[in-house]
Amino acid sequence: MQALQELYTTLQQRFPVGELTLQRQNLAFITVEAVQLYSVLRYLRDHEGFSHLVLLTAVDWLEDKQFQLTYLLHNRTRCQDVGIRVLIPREQPSMESIHDLWAAAATYQRELFEMFGIRFPGSPRLEEAFILEGWHDIPPYRRDFDTLEYARKTYRERPGRETRDPAQHMKQQLYGED
């Protein structure tokens, strides 16, 4: 954990970084402002050995009217991971593209655009259908997307369908009738 604490101190000297969360000895999360994200990521790649973008994901904080983006980077030499977190507004969400830092980011950004509606200006093929061909509803990973309502208006009710408690059903399947 000391190495990641030292990395955090180094970042503090160069950028206005926010909160540090030490998850375990080789994993930490650091919060940064959206305007600092690209510079922090480039610094971590070019000067600290975090050469691999492991993933880019989002969380919908509906009540706070924000999305949290997390960029997870890996340093193969030190066997360390650092997650860079940034909050952006839910209303017309947009974040600078990092596809020029890691080509794989373009794929993650396409997915986040389609599933959450987060724009990444300049990212290649962003507006092409990726997973949801012909989708015309709000992005389905947003927490205000009503999956039950969507299913009811999209699919017909099937006769004989019944709902079972999953725990009880599996218990019955595994152990038979009590």
Which pLDDT score, from 0 to 100, does residue 159 have? 83
pLDDT in tens, 26-79: 999 999 999 999 999 999 999 999 999 999 999 999 999 999 999 999 999 999
Give pTM, 2 decimals.
0.87
**155: its two tokens:** 């699919």
Burial 42-66 (b: 16+ CB within 10 A, else e): ebbbeebebeebeebebebeeeeeb
Q: Where are the domains of the chain?
A: 2-158
Handedness of CA 140, 141, 143, 146 (dihedral sign): positive
Strands 66-75 and 80-89: antiparallel
Domain 2-158 CATH superfamily: NADH:ubiquinone oxidoreductase Nqo5 subunit (3.30.460.80)
